[in-house]
Amino acid sequence: MENHKLNLTISSANGDWEDNFPNNQPVHALKTRAIAHFHMDPSQADQFILTYDGLTLDESRTLAELGIPDGAIIILERKDVTKI
């Protein structure tokens, strides 16, 4: 699969981060980058998930495999947060 860049916004309790990401990047790598960007403790990475359109993203797959579109807003959130 050809490597294209996606313009994504990662939204978290610490703010929003808009950047370009390779569509062949695994979701786990994206989560690790986002945690570093927001100056969170990387050892806590397993306590966070990335979601798109209300669905938890499979961290073993790439953005392209999951069909994440250009311009998407990805949410970085704690696993243990209760949604209302």
**In DSSP terms, which residues pair with 77 in a beta bridge?**
49
pLDDT mean for each 10 residues of the chain (84 residues):
85 95 95 94 91 96 97 94 60
Task: Identify the DSSP state of 30.
Answer: H
Q: Report domain extents, the chain.
A: 5-78
pLDDT at 23: 95
Residue 81 backbone phi and psi in degrees, to 5 = -80, 130
CATH fold label, 5-78: Ubiquitin-like (UB roll) (3.10.20)
Residues 64 and 23: beta-carbon distance below 8 Å: yes
Residues 34 and 67: beta-carbon distance below 8 Å: no
Cα-to-chain-centroid distance, residue 3: 18
Residue 9 backbone phi and psi in degrees, to 5 = -110, 125
